Chains A and B, each alone.
Chain A
Amino acid sequence: MAADKLKSDFPTADTIAAVATPSGRGGVGVIRVSGPDVTAIAEQIIGGLPPVRKAVYKNFLDKTEIIVDQGLAIFFKAPNSFTGEDVLELQGHGGPVVMDMLLTTVLDAGARQARPGEFSERAFLNDKIDLSQAEAIADLIDSSSQHAARGAMRSLQGEFSNIVKELDNSVVELRMYVEAAIDFPEEEIDFLSDDNLVKKLQETKSVFVRLIQQTKEGALLREGVTLVLAGKPNAGKSSLMNQLSGRQSSIVTAIEGTTRDLVNEHIQIDGIPLNLIDTAGLRAAADEVEEEGVRRALAAVESAEGVLLLIDLAMGDWRQQTLSMLAELPKLESTKVIVVLNKKDLVSAEDDNSGDFPYPLVRISAKNGEGIDELRISIKNTFGMGISEEGVFIARTRHLEALLTAQAHLLDGILQLQENLAGDLLAEELRLCHQKLCEITGEFSSDDLLGEIFSSFCIGK
């Protein structure tokens, strides 16, 4: 009985979409759409549902009827599909740019971007996947959402994050003002007749426009694998950084990081984009500034995909050094580590008993360049290319979707205020706008909002 109840309790009312093929520069890319709105979405993009299980060649059109791509469309009718729901597959030209545009088009047409593992989850809940697969699907959701979380976290560094936070603050301030006026009408806060509110709404609107433009252009989000270069001071981190980037003619950027002590370089190894972050030396901090540097270095390690741990062979037993460094680093369960033993030129023929060491090990001399090629190969083998890029790619599409929806709510809210003087509808649109932004910036409860109100206004009879 319980099982029947569960089954009948899963009407999935929303429609999800995602790129189903691995990202990269492959020939064909597939976008999968699943849920009750597949018919409506097919109507908009390819002019109607194709016959069941027949591949048809179509133009993929966006809202303004511009051709985004051309390719095959296949329709699977519920329950005879992967998820057990209506499923539409659009096969277009692979490559991140085209896939990005096509996915955006599908989301525009009413789908929501799928969470990691969500197709499998639906398939399982709809009895399309054997029960014995439960663990595997749980693992998939677990690991892929961790991965996505890291992707999102990485995407939230730097300029993008700053502007989103600024935007978030503006929206919170607007909501605080409007909600205070609604819930405390006797406190003489009347937004309906306040020009400042309109001004603030317009300002917020222009921040949205700017941020969305820049996000679309991909200007604010970093892509590629992020590696942190960690090690004691004077272990040779900067020299190694120069070696890795310097011999490459392909340095894309060499910008000061967001902090004074994290230097960020964008390099490529055989076409693999890499972000290399040089951290402040990890050691007991002497002053507050340095303490902050160490804190940021540790944070960088946490959000990176890999760590190059640089050990100074001249400082004695490298095993001892490595173990004590690893102990100082944040938990590294899903971060891969390459141990780089530097200054091999300074020590004489050393013991080579490193076969049983649990991390890849490379001996180099950052000073004269010895061993750098081996290190490159090791980096390539360890980190490769693939889902890491997808992490940021997905994060960007997700952020863009959230920003566009949030902006639409803000515009509707301004309209409701100006046309109808409808305070409750302005408040509703601002709530929805904020809710969307919170998908990027994190949870914010109605109690948090009340907290903002009580700390800003003297409320209470």
Chain B
Amino acid sequence: MDYPSKFDVIVVGGGHAGTEAALASARAGAATLLVTQSIETLGQMSCNPAIGGIGKSHLVKEIDALGGVMAQAADMAGIHFRVLNSRKGPAVRATRAQSDRQLYRQAIRRFIENQENLQLFQQSVDDLIVEGDQVRGVVTSGGVCFRAASVVLTVGTFLGGIIHVGMQKQPGGRAGDAPSNRLSERLREMPFTVDRLKTGTPPRIDGRTVNYKGLEAQPGDDPRPVMSYLGSRQDHPEQVNCFITHTSAQTHEIIRNGLDRSPLFTGEIDGVGPRYCPSIEDKVVRFADKDSHQIFIEPEGLNSYELYPNGISTSLPFDVQIELVRSIKGFENADITRPGYAIEYDYFEPRDLKSSLETRFIEGLYFAGQINGTTGYEEAAAQGLLAGINAARRSKDLESWCPGRNEAYIGVLVDDLITMGTKEPYRMFTSRAEYRLVLRQDNADRRLTPAGRELGIVNDQRWQRFTEKSELIDKRKDFLNSQWVQPGDDIESYLGQSLNHEYSLSELLRRPKVSVESLLTAVAIDWPDSEVNEQIEIDLKYEGYIKRQLEEVEKINGQHGVIIPESFDYALVGGLSNEVQQKLTTIRPETIGQASRISGVTPAAISLLLIYLKKNSQLRSRQTG
């Protein structure tokens, strides 16, 4: 049957990509439908119970700055907060929140249910309605046809999902959930390039059977960080400890003895797994000289006794899993509540996407999340948000939007995916960002909230908080610039540094080893909002570097912004080598900048392209008078 009303945007999937996509689309004013296999599992954390981490909290804060909900949900569900890299400099500082799965799901569901323009429907999607090269809607397993101008697919690991435990394998999208095989078959008929990836999870442990005596406790940080720009510590539920234990030589022996029944080593799994998140059997084989590996014991939630032993992801047979778990200190008598498993799934070559995350082959069809070869809740949510924004904009005939590599980790993520593609599940790292000093988690709001406001996805409350904060930063900076101290002032003894002439307070703050707190104490100023003070300190201390990075941006942006027409024929450009021609034709860069980042495309090739474009557009403009 045809559903009686029509939507602007349909989002398929209710994971981290799907929920942010649906919310962003609805915030942008599009009539949005979210179709999911199960409303109960909206916002489900399928793998480790944590949000954030290096490179990832950067994404979370950017999503937050654009009005997304992941950060707020993490504040409402976070039961253990830490700041990582606190001593390695503000650019690489990150926040992580161990999260109660149930509280997290509840928070996400509340956001969804309170969002205007957003409707929910539970049923799996079996087919897409495609007319010509245009998507028109979806068909559910119950035969309901929903029509919309744009469709966002966020189907995670559900496409052709196969779960492996030892030599046993069964279809599944996540332990306990059916895969979306119909849809997978349907998509395989379309001109997309499909490949397989693999990921895995560890067995879960019954916490009541763990002996904590002698295990190293890892408390959360004090002062406790907050994830959302709108959040506060009052949002946080009760806090608990994590623990650390280690594998032993005996564990490794057990693993080696079980390798003949490991689907990873018997060739049963052909999907490529992530190098940075190897299974324990992989670690034992590849780093044979290490006789112990760290395991982080993470609580699954306040109302659950289950534990997530982070570091022993495995697809070994269940009997080996029991033995290996029990060889670990503290787990001698532990019971497993859910076996660990590996999952193989389809993903689509992300180089077939535009920077809006719309597919190049079917208009109005957007892909976000693991379907694009990424891994991680944060990476998925970031793509979901972007796809949601652009699907909504498309339904209103507005130009698509994507931040640049110099503006956001979201920009780095999308540009990497559509330019280089990926061979393993793609995860964000700060080392992927060449403008890392500019793209900090502390300034995501200043980088993106104004753009979000213009896109219509930042509400009044957030906008007001943002403008107040910005004004406060400016005001306090002006003050520091206008206050001068003299040699001989008391401040010398406070700072433990002597002055040889007069200095403004902001000049003093630029000095190494002078922190904003010590300076404020020295001049007896009591400024609340440590977040604002921290911004001022970072701005001043990093001024030179930030200026240099911004100059670099400016330098390349002129030519890099030149748009290459969508159906450009590279064969017409003389002097391009076959290899370069082929690469450009496959990847179809949208701009000269993107083209220049393709490996093997030389400056000379870029010059030839520019000259050709220049010559040609001149001819075209003459024809049109």
Which residues on A are within 8 Å of B, measured CB to CB?
1-6, 9-14, 115-118, 121, 124-125, 131, 134-135, 137-139, 141-142, 145, 179, 181-188, 192, 419-425, 427-428, 431, 443, 445-447, 449-451, 454, 458-461
Closest CB of chain B to A27's CB: distance in Å?
A: 32
Bound CA–CA A317/B555 (angstroms): 61
Tell whether, in the assembled complex, residue A138 and residue B574 are in contact, meaning their CB atoms are under 8 Å apart.
yes
Q: Are B607 and A118 in contact (CB under 8 A)?
A: yes
In contact, B276 and A460 (Cβ under 8 angstroms): yes
Chain A residues near B278 (CB-CB < 8 A)? 459-460
Q: Which residues of B contact A425 (CB under 8 A)?
A: 89, 437, 545
Task: Specify the main secondary structure of chain A where it touches its partner.
Answer: helix
| B617 contacts the other chain (CB 8 A) | yes
A424 touches B431 (CB 8 A): no
Inside 8 A of B215's CB, which chain A residues have their CB?
none
Given contacts A6-B562, A182-B85, A454-B275, contact A138 B612 (CB under 8 A): yes
B437 and A424 contact, CB distance less than 8 A: yes
Docked CA distance A428–B562 (Å): 28
A185 touches B420 (CB 8 A): no
> Is B520 an interface position by the 8 A CB rule?
no
CB closest residue in chain B, given A449: B431
Q: Is the CB–CB distance between B604 and A125 below 8 Å?
A: no
State the Cβ distance, A188 to closest chain B Cβ, in Å.
8
Q: B365 near A: Cβ within 8 Å?
A: no
A interface footprint on B52-65 (CB within 8 Å = 1, 0 otherwise): 00110000000000
List the A side residues contacting B85 at CB < 8 Å: 182, 185, 423
- Decide if A446 touches B431 in the complex (CB within 8 Å): yes
Nearest CB in chain A to that of B218: its residue: A186
Q: Which of B421-456 contact A (CB under 8 A)?
A: 429-432, 434, 436-437
A131 CB → nearest B CB, Å: 6
Question: Which A residues are in CB contact (< 8 Å) with B88?
Answer: 181-182, 185, 192, 423-424
Which chain A residues border B611 with CB–CB below 8 Å?
121, 124-125, 134, 137-138, 141
Contacts of B429 in A (CB 8 A): 183, 446, 450
Chain B's closest residue to A447 (CB) is B420
- Interface check B599, CB cutoff 8 A: yes
Q: Which of A14, A421, A446 has the most CB of B within 10 A?
A: A446
Chain A: which residue is nearest B278 at the CB level? A460
The answer to whether A125 and B89 touch across the interface, beta carbons within 8 angstroms, is no
| Interface pair A139/B575, CB less than 8 Å apart | yes
Q: Known: A12-B558, A182-B92, A431-B434. Is A445-B275 also a contact (CB below 8 A)?
A: no
The distance in angstroms between the C-alpha atoms of A199 and B304, with both chains bound, is: 49
Between A and B, 17 residue pairs with Cβ closer than 8 Å are A2-B621, A3-B618, A6-B613, A9-B558, A11-B558, A14-B555, A115-B604, A116-B604, A125-B610, A142-B604, A184-B54, A423-B92, A424-B90, A425-B437, A431-B434, A450-B431, A458-B293
The answer to whether the Cβ of B317 comes within 8 Å of any Cβ in the partner chain is no
Contact with A along B598-621 (1 / 0, CB 8 A): 011011100110111111011111
A6 touches B607 (CB 8 A): no
Q: Which of B179-199 contact A (CB under 8 A)?
A: none
Contacts of B276 in A (CB 8 A): 184, 450, 454, 459-460
Residue in contact with B559 in the complex, picked from A9, A419, A451, CB distance below 8 Å: A9
**Given contacts A115-B603, A186-B294, A424-B92, are A461 and B420 in contact (CB under 8 A)?**
no
Pair A138/B296 contact, Cβ less than 8 Å: no
A118-B607, A141-B611 in contact; A192/B558 too (CB < 8 A)? no
B621→A1 contact, CB < 8 A: yes
**B575 touching A141, Cβ below 8 Å:** yes
Which chain A residues border B293 with CB–CB below 8 Å? 458
B54 and A428: CB pair below 8 A? no
A9 in complex: contacting residue of B420, B562, B574, B615, CB < 8 Å: B562
Whether the pair B54, A182 counts as a contact (CB closer than 8 A) is yes
Further contacts, 13 of them, CB under 8 A, given A13-B554, A182-B430: A2-B620, A4-B621, A6-B614, A9-B558, A115-B607, A179-B431, A181-B88, A183-B55, A421-B87, A424-B91, A443-B599, A446-B434, A449-B431
- Which residues B268-316 have CB closer than 8 A to chain A? 274-278, 283, 286-287, 290, 293-294, 296, 310-311
The answer, yes or no, to whether B219 is at the interface (CB within 8 Å) is: no
* Residue B488 is within 8 A (CB to CB) of chain A in the complex: no
Q: What's the Cα separation between A139 and B611 when bound, in Å?
A: 11
- In the assembled complex, B512 has its CB within 8 A of some CB on chain A: yes
**B615 to A, closest residue via Cβ:** A134
Closest to B617 in A: A2
Which A-chain residue is minimally distant from B86 (CB atoms)? A185
Within 8 Å of chain A (Cβ to Cβ): is B532?
A: no
Interface contact B575-A10, CB-CB below 8 Å: no
- B residues near A428, Cβ cutoff 8 Å: 91, 436-437, 545
Residue of B nearest to A146 (CB): B604
**What sequence of 0s and 1s flags, for each residue 332-369 of chain B, a beta carbon within 8 Å of any chain A beta carbon?**
00000000000000000000000000000000000000
Q: Which residues of A contact B434 (CB under 8 A)?
A: 431, 446
Please tell me if the beta carbons of A141 and B54 are within 8 angstroms of each other in the complex: no
A3 to B618, CA, bound (A): 5
Minimum distance in angstroms from B616 CB to a CB of chain A: 9
A406 → B minimal CB distance (Å): 16
With a cutoff of 8 Å between Cβ atoms, the chain A residues found around residue B92 in the complex are 182, 423-424, 427
Asked if B84 is at the interface of the complex by the 8 Å CB criterion, the answer is: yes
Q: Once the chains are docked, how many angstroms separate the CA of A459 from the CA of B90?
A: 23
Residue numbers in B under 8 Å from A183 (CB-CB): 54-55, 429-431
Query: Which 10 residue pairs across A and B have the least CB separation, nearest first?
Result: A424-B89, A423-B88, A142-B575, A145-B604, A424-B91, A13-B555, A454-B275, A458-B287, A2-B617, A134-B615
What residues of chain A lie closer than 8 Å to B143, measured between beta carbons?
Answer: none
**A118 proximity list for chain B (CB < 8 A):** 607
A6-B87 in contact (CB<8A)? no
Chain B CB within 10 A, most for which of A182, A185, A421, A446: A182
Interface flag for B404 (CB, 8 Å): no
Cβ-defined contact, A423 with B296, below 8 A: no
Name the B residues within 8 Å of A137 (CB-CB): 611
Answer whether residue B487 sits at the interface, using C-beta atoms and an 8 A cutoff: no
Q: For B283, what are the chain A residues with a Cβ–Cβ distance below 8 Å? A: 458, 460
CA distance A458 to B48 in the complex (A): 19
| Residues on the A chain within 8 Å of B554, using CB | 13
Interchain nearest-CB distance for B609 vs A (Å): 10
**Residue in B85, B276, B286, B620 with the greatest tally of chain A CB atoms within 10 Å:** B276
Contact call A138/B621, Cβ cutoff below 8 A: no
Q: Which of A11, A135, A460 has the most CB of B within 10 A?
A: A460
By beta carbon, the residue of chain B nearest A448 is B599
A420 to B310, CA, bound (A): 34
In the assembled complex, the CB of B248 is this many whole angstroms from the nearest CB of chain A, namely 16
Which residues of chain B come closer than 8 Å to A145, judged between CB atoms? Answer: 602-604
